[in-house]
Amino acid sequence: TTLTFGMAHAQSPELSDPPEIDGEVVGDHGSHTLRMGIGLAESSPQYLSSQYFGEILEQRTDGRISVNVFPNSQLGDDVQMLEMLQTGTLDMTYPSSSAATGYVEELAAFDLPFLLPSREAAVAVMQSDVAQNMLDAFEGTGLKALAFSENGYRQLSNSARPITSPEDVAGLDVRGLSVRTMENPVHLAIWEALGANPTPMAFGELFSALEQGVVDGQENPWSTILTSNFHEVQDYGTETRHVYTPFIMMLSERTWDRMAPEYQELVQEAARQSAEYEIQLSAEYDDWSRNQLAERGMQITRLDDEQLAAFQDAVQPVYEEWAPRIGEDLIADIQQIVEDSSN
Ligand code: KDG
């Protein structure tokens, strides 16, 4: 027996088993070993569902297609890995949609603050024709966009002070929070509107930047804050839910073009199945992660309606600046899907 002292923490919530893999083994069209780089850790829903994606392909090809997943940004950050897919030096990656707005501008709709009020609404949008059109719009970029899944609702963490209002972010008699953001202009605008000092930075550099105090804070879903151990260097969390970020599973077009049509179809199907599983895992992780972070000593603030409204008001200028550039019609379409999903 092993004796453990102190409090042992569960490494993950009770997770649903991956759906059973069914379907015939497809014909022999040669072998492929797909290398996939991701930003998040081995315990993340992103990694677990990527492993499942690989299992589907292995089983349905008798091992002729296999997938090697490289976690923790060890092959690069989202932006770099997308470029590696374009040049064909990497087969797959799984970025936040926010990292890919340089290829398909419409994706920036997802970066608008407080656009998707519930996970149900977000999933309805990700499964809509509007979202499929965004995936299709990657045609010709060197990237094959396979499926949307969930990164999740982004929450603010920091090492300086509890945050309950935009004034706390801006700091009245203290300096404004420096907040790491993704490399995305709408996110920069959000944190500028809140009075922070936003600093875009690769995810792989974030832990040490927080540890060394290069930035005070960052924003990511609770599950990422937990699985990337940010709570070790961040004492305060605020449930802002300011942006819902999707992931997009991506394949290099060069790799895609080398695959037989039957394999292409299978890869597309496996991506959809694993994306569905990822969304389920991510939902199971979300509140559980917040509670775990609290148990591990993070002081977490949940905002009441009035406090939340103050954040929503403060970011209105982001809509005024960005809605015309992203497309008013597109945003209206998304808002319609959101409305329909709550009926
Ligand atoms: O694999 C995905 C991660 O690299 C990244 O998208 C996580 O949300 C993220 C961030 O803040 O960079």
- Per-residue pLDDT of 251-301, as tens digits, reads 999 999 999 999 999 999 999 999 999 999 999 999 999 999 999 999 999
User: How many Å lie between the centroid of ligand 1 and the Cα of residue 39?
Assistant: 6
Pick the residue whose CA is nearest to atom 4 on ligand 1. 39
What is the best residue among 50, 94, 151, 242 to mutate for testing ligand 1's pocket, by most ligand atoms within 8 Å of CB? 151
Same domain, yes or no: 64 and 128: yes
78 and 138 in a common domain: yes
Q: Are residues 320 and 179 in the same domain?
A: yes
Segment holding 275, helix H or strand E: helix 261-295
Same domain, 199 and 177: yes
DSSP β-ladder status, 143-153 and 244-252: antiparallel
In a 13 Å sphere around the CA of 23, the CA atoms on its Cβ side amount to: 18
**126 shares a domain with 54:** yes
CATH of the domain at 251: 3.40.190.170
Residue 179 DSSP code: E
Q: Whose CA is nearest to atom 6 of ligand 1?
A: 96
Per-residue pLDDT, 14? 86
Q: Is residue 18 part of a domain?
A: no
CA dihedral sign of residues 256, 257, 262, 263: negative
**Within this chain, do residues 197 and 300 fall inside the same structural domain, yes or no?**
yes
Expressed in angstroms and rounded, the spacing between residue 299 Cα and the centre of ligand 1 is: 23
Rounded to an integer, the average pLDDT of 146-167 is 98
* Residue whose CA is at the smallest distance from ligand 1 atom 12: 203
Give the span between the Cα atoms of 47 and 83, in whole angstroms.
21
Instruction: Give the count of domains, the chain.
Output: 2
45 and 182 fall within a common domain = no
Specify whether the CB–CB gap between 99 and 182 falls below 8 A.
yes
In a domain, 7, yes or no: no
pLDDT of residue 113: 98
Percent of the chain with pLDDT over 70: 97
The rounded distance, in Å, linking the Cα atoms of 100 and 248 is: 9
Residues 145 and 48 in one domain: yes
The β-bridge partners of 219 are 156
Residues whose CB falls within 8 Å of the CB of residue 262, separated by 6 or more in sequence, listed in order:
26, 27, 29
**Could you tell me if residue 16 is inside a domain?**
no
Statement to judge: residues 200 and 327 lie in one domain: yes
71 part of a folded domain: yes
Do the beta carbons of residue 202 and residue 77 sit within 8 Å?
A: yes
Query: CA torsion angle for 50, 42, 32, 18 (degrees, to 10)?
Result: -40
In angstroms, the CA 130 to CA 330 distance is 8
Q: How far apart are CA 266 and CA 21, in angstroms?
A: 12
Asked whether residue 311 falls in the same domain as residue 165, the answer is: yes
**Residue 144 covered by a domain:** yes
Chain position carrying tokens 């599950």? 223
Look up residue 326 and give its amino acid: I
- Domain annotation covers residue 8: no
Indicate whether 13 pLDDT > 50.
yes
Element (H, E) at 298: none
Whether 14 is in a domain gets the answer no
Q: From start to end of 71-213, where are the E strands?
A: 92-93, 143-153, 155-158, 178-181, 197-200
Residue 78 Cα, ligand 1 centroid: separation in angstroms? 7
Select from 47, 45, 65 the least CA-distant residue to 55. 65
| pLDDT number for residue 195 | 96
Amino acid found at 320:
E
Q: Do 280 and 267 reside in the same domain of the chain? A: yes
**What is the crossing angle of helices 316-326 and 328-341, to 10°?**
110
Pocket of ligand 1 (CB under 6 A): 38-40, 46, 78, 94-96, 151, 182, 203, 220, 245
What is the DSSP secondary structure assignment for residue 217, as one 8-state letter? E
Q: Is the dihedral of CA 308, 310, 311, 315 positive or negative?
A: positive
Taking the C-alpha atoms of residue 246 and residue 97, their distance in angstroms, rounded to an integer, is: 6
Residue range 21-44, pLDDT digits in tens: 999 999 999 999 999 999 999 999
202-238 pLDDT, tens digit per residue, is: 999 999 999 999 999 999 999 999 999 999 999 999 9
Q: Based on the number of CB atoms within 10 Å of its own CB, is 111 exposed (0-12), middle (13-18) or buried (19 or more)?
A: buried
Nearest ligand 1 atom to alpha carbon 40? 1
Looking at the structure, do residues 176 and 77 belong to the same domain, yes or no? no
The pLDDT mean for the chain works out to 96
Domain that holds residue 318: 155-243+291-341
Q: Ligand 1 atom closest to Cα of 38?
A: 1
Kindly report the backbone phi and psi dihedral angles of residue 83, in degrees, each rounded to the nearest multiple of 5, phi listed first.
-65, -35
Tens-digit pLDDT profile for residues 30-85: 999 999 999 999 999 999 999 999 999 999 999 999 999 999 999 999 999 999 99
What pLDDT, on the 0 to 100 scale, is given for residue 4? 44
For tokens 């590696």, name the residue.
84
Atom index in ligand 1 nearest the CA of residue 181 equals 11
Question: Ligand 1 centre and the CA of 151: distance in Å?
Answer: 8
Residues 6+ apart with CB under 8 A from 211: 232, 233
Interval between CA 24 and ligand 1 midpoint (Å): 34
Please tell me whether the interface predicted TM-score (ipTM) of this complex is above 0.95: yes
Which residue's CA is the closest to the ligand 1 atom numbered 10?
A: 203
26 in a structural domain:
no
